[in-house]
Structure 1
C-alpha cells in the first residue's frame, strides 16, 4: 500500500492542469479593472498564470522595441499593435479588437460635472486632468474633444497631464484636479457610475478608441498566449468587458 501522502500527491498531480504556463502581459491602464477579473477567471479555468503590467500604450511600445519581455499586448488603440505587426515584433494574424473604449469627463464631486459637459465652457475650475495625448489614446481623444468644442486653447493652462489614463484618474480621484477626462471603465461598474458626477462624451467628438490585443514575438511558443486570446473572445470575458461600459 502506498503511503497516504504519496497517494494525495499523486491525486493533486493528476488534477493539476497540463502544460500550465506563465504569460507576461502588458495591459493598457484603462483596462486594469476588467483585466484583473478576466485574469482571475482565466487562471482558474486554464491553470495558466498571467503576470500583468499596466501602463501607457506609447510607453509599452517603446519598451517592446527595446526588448522588454512582454508576450501579449492589450493596447488602448489599434495603431500600436498594427505597427508592431508591420515591424515584425508580433505573431501575424493574432491581432483583434477586444474592446471599444469610451471617454468620460468625470469629477469625484457630485454635481460638479453636468450631463451636457457645459462645465467646460464655464471654466469654473482650477485644473483639469487628462492623459498625455502623445502616449495615451485616451489623452488624444480628450484633446480631439476639446479642439472640436473650441476649448483646447482656452483650457490649456489648466491641464494636468498624467503619463497614462491611470495617472489622470488618480489626479481626479485624489481631488488634486477637480475634474478630468478618464476612461468610462474607471468610473463605471455593473451598469452604473460608481461615484461623483460625469458627462459621457459623445463619440462624435473623438475618433473611435478601438483597443486591440496581439501576441508579441516573445509569446510565439507560449501555449498560454493563444489560450488567452481564445478566452477573450468567449462569452465570460465579453460579459466582464461590457460590465465596465466598453463596447464590443
Structure 2
C-alpha cells in the first residue's frame, strides 16, 4: 500500500503542475497606438488578477487590418475605430459575438510648449506656425478626425503645405514632442492623466467637430480557443479597467 502511494504521488504532483500551467495563458494583442499607455497599465493588473499574460503590439489600425488579413498571429484586436472590427467580423475573421466598444477617444491639438496652444484652438487660424502634425488619415482614425476638424474650420487648404504626417498617432505625437512640428493633433490619452494635461499646452477638441472615435475590440479567429483572449475581453469590460481607461481621458 505504501509503495503504491509513493509511486502515485509524483504523478499527482505533475498533474497539478500541468493544470496550473494550463490555467495561465498568453494572449497576443494588436493595440491601436493611441491606447498604448492605458493598456500597459491594464496589463499589469490583468496579469496579477487573472494569471494570464498580455503581449501587446502597437500600431495604426489600418496597418493591423492588413496584417491580420495576411495571417498575423494576433488573438485580440483593440482598434482605434469601430469600422475595422465590424469589417473583420463581416469577413468571418473574428469570434462571433465578441465585438464591443471599449472606449470613445478624444482628439486634442497639442504643443510641447507651454502657453502655445490656447483653449479654443485659435492658434490654428492665426497661422503663425510652420508645421502641423497629424496621423495618416487613411490608416489612423485620429488622423481622419483631425482632417474633419480642419475642414469644419475651413482650414484644409491653408494647412496643406504645413502638414507633417505620421504613420500612426504615436509618430504624430513624436513629431510634436521632439520639436519637428510646433503643434499637432494627437489623442488626448497621450498627454492626459488623472484629469489634466501633463505637459505643454492643448486644446481639447469638442466631440461634435468630428465623427465619434468609437474604439472597438474583438476576439480574432486565432484567439477562439485561447482562454486568455476571452479573459482579456471580459476584463476590459470590468470596473478596474474602466477606471484606468477614464483616467486617460476616454469616455466609456
Cα drift, residue 14 of structure 1? 10
- Aligned runs of 1:205-244 on 2, under 5 Å? 205-244=209-248
Q: Of the candidates 78, 91, 106, which is equivalent to residue 87 of structure 1?
A: 91
Q: Does the Cα contact within 8 Å between 1:22 and 1:48 map onto a contact in 2?
A: yes
Cα drift, residue 17 of structure 1? 6.9
Scaled by the length of structure 1, the TM-score of the pair is: 0.94
Q: How many residues align?
A: 241
Aligned to 1:71: 75
Aligned to 2:117: 113
Cα drift, residue 50 of structure 1? 1.1
- Aligned runs of 1:43-58 on 2, under 5 Å? 43-58=47-62
Q: Of the candidates 163, 167, 173, which is equivalent to residue 167 of structure 2?
A: 163
Scaled by the length of structure 2, the TM-score of the pair is: 0.92
Q: Which runs of 5+ in 1 are unaligned?
A: none
Aligned to 1:191: 195
Aligned to 2:128: 124
In the alignment, structure 1 residue 135 sits paired with structure 2 residue 123 = no
Aligned to 1:180: 184
Summarize deviations over 1:58-107 as a string: whole Å, max 9, x none. Answer: 00000001111100000000000000000001111100000000000000
Cα drift, residue 16 of structure 1? 5.3
Summarize deviations over 1:138-189 as a string: whole Å, max 9, x none. Answer: 0000000000100011101100000000000011111111100000000000
Cα drift, residue 49 of structure 1? 1.1
Change (3 A) 1:17 1:38: farther
Rounded to whole Å, the distance in 2 between the matches of 1:159 and 1:24 is 34
Stretches (4+) displaced over 3 A: 12-18
Q: Which has the larger radius of gyration?
A: 2
